[in-house]
Amino acid sequence: MSIQENYELAKKAYEKWGINVDEVIETLKNVPISIHCWQGDDVGGFEVNQKELSGGISVTGNYPGKASTPEELRADLEKALSLIPGKHRVNLHAIYAETNGEVVERDQLEPKHFENWVNWAKENGLGLDYNPTLFSHPKADDGLTLSHPNEEIREFWINHCIGSRKIGEYFGKELGTPALTNIWIPDGYKDIPSDRLTPRKRLKESLDKIFAVEVDEKYNLDAVESKVFGLGSESYVVGSHEFYLNYAMKNDKLCLLDTGHYHPTETVSNKISSMLLFSEKLALHVSRPVRWDSDHVVILDDELKEIALEIVRNDALDRVIIGLDFFDASINRVAAWTIGTRNMIKALLSAMLVPNEYLKQLQEEGNFTERLALMEEFKTYPFGAVWDYYCEKMGVPVKESWLEEVKAYEQEVLLKR
């Protein structure tokens, strides 16, 4: 059977439940995923005085072909994007600035250092998002930045974050779509602290100074991101989930939930509905935690499917900003982007091919037998046939055929670096 024939059969199966598959595909086409640039070069960046990774971040593996210049990174992103259906975004960190060989400290970065990225985004029809980089720097060597007891160090990072918001605003103005500028810091202590409150007071004061500088929300959206622990901050993280949740709510900022930044028994999918009740928008970094490593390549597992269901069933596709955050240097980096992003889109499509309103009704009626039965049966409905059709319609490889393109790109480009 052809892809079209399989699709027509699948449509009939879903239409019995009132699901218009053609409309689902049209909706999915307009859902952007923010693809993180740092998978392509192992979170290295392009600073002239480049430092090794720090701040609780570690990348393992030495697969050949890592991007070592902005041009290489953009070429690799273009290759990955050509294998992923839909129009998406690219998420940058401050360390991906281009300074033409000049040493520019992070608190001195300006929009001009990202002109090449903006021009490239325009050429490719992409939006850009942004993150200040508060790690891998001498002023972060002791594990503290915005909560540092040294005022001079705090001011350095405050100024870096203020400048970052202006860069995000620049992205939004130039590209016609607001940038999400997200603040994450590594601050914390390896062993049990004797004072948890004072560092958090300093962090709050630093954030207040950062956000006191006016930036047009039409072009830039501010977000703050928590973490449960990192390497070197196993016992205490200043910017905890509770800290940022309260700060975001009180100051009308977005609270960004990273799926790898919680205790092993916590799930972000269970947080989404609560967040949506109190926030107009919510931001996600979708990753895959495996024990103490929070950043494995996203797979189509139960939690990813449940996250997508929570977004879709709560009619929040335009309220949840979906970004990815993983880095694996043990496999082909272009393949990692492709696998993770295609899986995020697959999860959204799968969630849209469920009779969510009917299942809600069953729950309200207390009909838990039928609810469970249908939720299980829809796991084996012909979602794959719709996915194949969507990929073909969007002009990207169907099924695993994309892997041949990555293998060819590896031979022709990556292995020659």
For the chain, 417 residues long, give each residue's pLDDT as a single digit of tens: 899 999 999 999 999 999 999 999 999 999 999 999 999 998 899 988 777 767 667 788 899 999 999 999 999 999 999 999 999 999 999 999 999 989 999 999 999 999 999 999 999 999 999 999 999 999 999 999 999 999 999 999 999 999 999 999 999 999 999 999 999 999 999 999 999 999 999 999 999 999 999 999 999 999 999 998 888 888 999 999 999 999 999 999 999 999 999 988 899 999 999 999 999 999 999 999 998 777 899 999 999 999 999 999 999 999 999 999 999 999 999 999 999 999 999 999 999 999 999 999 999 999 999 999 999 999 999 999 999 999 999 999 999 999 999 999 999 999 999
347 belongs to a structural domain: no
Return the CA Rg of the chain: 22
261 labelled catalytic: yes
208 labelled catalytic: no
pLDDT at 295: 87
Domain boundary among 289, 307, 341: 341
148 labelled catalytic: no
121 belongs to a structural domain: yes
322 belongs to a structural domain: yes
222 labelled catalytic: no
348 belongs to a structural domain: no
DSSP 174-193: HHTSPEEEEE----EESS--
Same domain as 363, residue 285:
no
225 labelled catalytic: yes
Burial of 23 (0-12, 13-18, 19+ CB in 10 A): exposed
DSSP 3-state of 326: coil
Full domain range(s) for residue 124: 32-341
Same domain as 322, residue 363:
no
Query: What letter would DSSP give residue 113?
Result: G
Look at the chain and count its residues. 417
CA distances in angstroms from 161 to 109, 256, 349, listed in the order given: 10, 16, 36
Catalytic, out of 285, 387, 402, 410 = 285
Same domain as 401, residue 316:
no
Catalytic, out of 78, 98, 293, 370 = 293
CA angle 54, 60, 66 (to 5 degrees): 95
Same domain as 184, residue 134:
yes
Same domain as 233, residue 206:
yes
pLDDT at 231: 82
Domain count, the chain: 2
Phi, psi (degrees; rounded to nearest 5) at 292: -90, 0
Burial of 92 (0-12, 13-18, 19+ CB in 10 A): buried
CATH number, residue 56: 3.20.20.150
pLDDT at 56: 67
pLDDT at 60: 82
Domain boundary among 291, 310, 341: 341
Catalytic, out of 41, 129, 187, 258 = 258
76 belongs to a structural domain: yes
Q: Provide the residue type at 257 as one letter.
A: L
Same domain as 254, residue 374:
no
Same domain as 282, residue 387:
no
Spatial distance between the Cα atoms of 177 and 219, rounded to a whole number of angstroms = 7
Where helices occur in 283-413 by DSSP H, the ranges are: 302-313, 333-352, 356-365, 368-377, 383-393, 402-412
Catalytic, out of 261, 271, 305, 346 = 261
Catalytic, out of 295, 310, 388, 410 = 295
333 belongs to a structural domain: yes
Same domain as 363, residue 303:
no
325 labelled catalytic: yes
218 labelled catalytic: no
Catalytic, out of 107, 169, 325, 410 = 325
Spatial distance between the Cα atoms of 147 and 401, rounded to a whole number of angstroms = 49
Catalytic, out of 79, 227, 271, 305 = 227
DSSP 3-state of 211: helix
207 belongs to a structural domain: yes
Same domain as 293, residue 274:
yes
Same domain as 156, residue 56:
yes
H/E run at residue 366? none
Query: What letter would DSSP give residue 232?
Result: T
Spatial distance between the Cα atoms of 298 and 283, rounded to a whole number of angstroms = 17
Domain boundary among 279, 308, 341: 341
Same domain as 405, residue 334:
no
Among residues 82, 90, 87, which one has the least CA distance to residue 120?
90
114 belongs to a structural domain: yes
Same domain as 239, residue 113:
yes
pLDDT at 283: 98
